[in-house]
Amino acid sequence: MDNTAGHRIGFVGTRFAGTDGVSLEASKWAKVLWDHRHTSYWFAGKLNTDPSVSMLEPHAYFGHADIQWINDRIFGCVDRDKEVTQRIYALSEHLKRALYDFVDRFDIEVMVVQNALCIPMNVPLGLAITTFIAETNFPTIAHHHDFYWERDRFAVNAIGDFLRMAFPPDLPSIQHATISSAAQRDFSHRCGASSLLVPNVLDFETPPVGQDDYNSDFRQQVGLEPDDIVFLQPTRVVPRKGIEHAINLVAALKNPKCKLVITHESGDEGEEYKNALTEMAEHQGVDLRYIADRIGEERSEQGDRKCYNLADAYAHADFITYPSIYEGFGNALLEAFYYRKPVLVNRYSIFVTDIEPKGFQVITMNGYLTKEVVEQVKKVISDPDYREEMVDNNYEMGKAFFSYAVLRRKLRVLITHYTGAENL
For residue 340, how many other CB atoms are within 10 A of its CB? 19
**Per-residue confidence (pLDDT) for residue 192, from 0 to 100:** 92
SS3 category, 186: helix
DSSP letter assigned to residue 38: -
C-alpha 304, offset from chain centre: 32
What integer best gives the mean pLDDT of the chain?
94
Tell me the C-alpha distance between 104 and 45, whole Å.
18
For residue 309, how many other CB atoms are within 10 A of its CB? 17
Tell me the C-alpha distance between 26 and 11, whole Å.
8
For residue 384, how many other CB atoms are within 10 A of its CB? 9
**Per-residue confidence (pLDDT) for residue 1, from 0 to 100:** 47
Per-residue confidence in pLDDT tens, the chain, 424 aa: 444 568 999 999 999 997 788 998 999 999 999 887 899 999 999 999 999 999 999 999 999 999 999 999 999 999 999 999 999 999 999 999 999 999 999 999 999 999 999 999 999 999 999 999 999 999 999 999 999 999 888 999 999 999 999 999 999 999 999 999 999 999 999 999 999 999 999 999 999 999 999 999 999 999 999 999 999 999 999 999 999 999 999 999 999 999 999 999 886 667 899 999 999 999 999 999 999 999 988 899 988 889 999 999 999 999 999 999 988 888 999 999 999 999 999 999 999 999 999 999 999 999 999 999 999 999 999 999 999 999 999 999 999 999 999 999 999 999 988 877 555 5
pLDDT digits (tens, 9 = 90+) for 261-316: 999 988 666 789 999 999 999 999 999 999 999 998 889 998 888 999 999 999 99
227 burial via Cβ count (<10 Å: 0-12, 13-18, 19+): exposed
Which CATH class, in words, describes the domain spanning 215-401? alpha beta
**Per-residue confidence (pLDDT) for residue 424, from 0 to 100:** 53
Same fold: 8-201+404-419 with 215-401: yes
Tell me the C-alpha distance between 54 and 71, whole Å.
26
Tell me the C-alpha distance between 87 and 400, whole Å.
48
Q: Is residue 60 within 8 Å of residue 14, measured between CB atoms?
A: yes
Tell me the C-alpha distance between 387 and 379, whole Å.
8
Q: Amino acid letter at 105? A: R
Q: Name which of 225, 239, 235 is nearest 287 in CA terms.
A: 225
pLDDT digits (tens, 9 = 90+) for 217-276: 999 999 999 999 999 999 999 999 999 999 999 999 999 999 999 999 886 667 899 999
| CATH superfamily label, 8-201+404-419 | Glycogen Phosphorylase B; (3.40.50.2000)
Tell me the C-alpha distance between 217 and 32, whole Å.
33
- What residues are paired with 39 via a beta bridge? 8
Contacts of 63 (CB under 8 A, 6+ apart): 45, 46
Domain ranges of the chain: 8-201+404-419, 215-401
| Entry pTM | 0.87
